[in-house]
């Protein structure tokens, strides 16, 4: 699996598109956070942690859309499946490669808490837990995007469907659907949205229920991807 992981990772590292996506992500994250500091005057990382999910909504599908769609378009998926690797190893390698690139984007925001610590008192455990939540959140969206990439050979279709499904998951915990569905149904659905569970991490709370939710979300969509690949054999 390590060989496959390196192959996938090298694609992003040797391709300017990967660098462009990561740099754009970091630029937007840093810019909007710094802008909010001057507007609100708040020396807290919570505005950044609240912004990142909406950036992930676009940047994660952009990175993940090629995972299997490109293999199908180039007719290399059959060759990939005949290699001495299981479907689980193939999916895990592609998933970890994308998540590694996403992590690089997050690393480029580390200068923000360091800068804040120079002008105000910061609580580092809260920041660490917040970043952990963002990684889990991004991993969930990555699993979703890879699954939809495995369903089509068109990268644009995989990109758009991934954004749509992820957006619907996110807005379940907002007032976006308040006028469309009864409140008691929305309150129930909120328990299944990533934003609701990310909120605990943003507050610096390591809630086991939220941890289990993200791990289940990741495992569930990766499992669906594996099943989809097994159907081709």
The predicted-structure confidence for 41-77, as pLDDT tens digits, reads as follows 556 788 889 889 999 999 999 999 988 998 888 888 8
Nearest to 93, CA basis, from 224, 18, 13, 4: 4
Average pLDDT of the chain is 85
Q: Is this model's pTM higher than 0.75 or not? A: yes
pLDDT value at residue 36: 64
pLDDT value, residue 201: 92
Nearest to 71 by CA among 60, 83, 59: 83
Q: Give me the pLDDT at residue 126, please.
A: 86
What is residue 106's predicted lDDT score, i.e. its pLDDT? 92
Q: How confident is the model at residue 39 (pLDDT cuts 50, 70, 90)?
A: low
Exposed (0-12), middle (13-18) or buried (19+): which is 154, by Cβ within 10 Å?
A: middle
The DSSP letter of residue 174 is S
Task: Provide DSSP, 30-42.
Answer: HHHHHHHHHHH--
pLDDT, residue 100, reads 94
Structure token digits, residue 95 = 């998933």
Phi and psi torsions of 173, nearest 5°: -100, 10
Enclosing domain of residue 12:
2-230
Is the Cβ–Cβ distance between 220 and 68 less than 8 Å? no
- The count of structural domains within the chain is 1
Q: Which of 69, 64, 213, 72 is nearest to 145 (CA)?
A: 64
CB 104 within 8 A of CB 13: no
Under DSSP, the state recorded for 186 is H
């Amino acid at each position: 699996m390590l060989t496959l992981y390196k192959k996938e990772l090298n694609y992003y590292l040797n391709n300017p598109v990967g660098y462009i996506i990561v740099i754009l992500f970091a630029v937007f994250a840093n810019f909007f956070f710094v802008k909010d500091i001057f507007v609100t005057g708040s020396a807290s990382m919570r505005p950044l942690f609240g912004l990142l999910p909406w950036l992930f909504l676009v940047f994660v599908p952009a990175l993940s859309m090629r995972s299997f769609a490109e293999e199908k378009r180039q007719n290399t998926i059959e060759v990939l499946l005949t290699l001495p690797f299981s479907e689980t190893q193939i999916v895990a390698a592609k998933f970890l490669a994308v998540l590694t690139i996403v992590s690089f984007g997050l690393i480029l925001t580390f200068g923000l808490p360091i800068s804040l610590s120079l002008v105000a008192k910061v609580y580092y455990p809260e920041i660490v837990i917040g970043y952990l939540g963002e990684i889990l959140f991004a991993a969930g969206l990555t699993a979703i995007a890879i699954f939809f990439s495995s369903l089509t050979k068109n990268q644009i279709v995989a990109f758009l469907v991934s954004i749509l499904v992820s957006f619907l998951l996110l807005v379940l915990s907002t007032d976006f659907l308040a006028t469309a569905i009864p409140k008691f149904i929305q309150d129930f659905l909120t328990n299944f949205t990533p934003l609701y569970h990310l909120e605990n991490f943003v507050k610096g709370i390591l809630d086991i229920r939220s941890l289990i939710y993200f791990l289940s979300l990741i495992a569930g969509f990766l499992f669906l991807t594996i099943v989809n690949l097994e159907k081709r054999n």
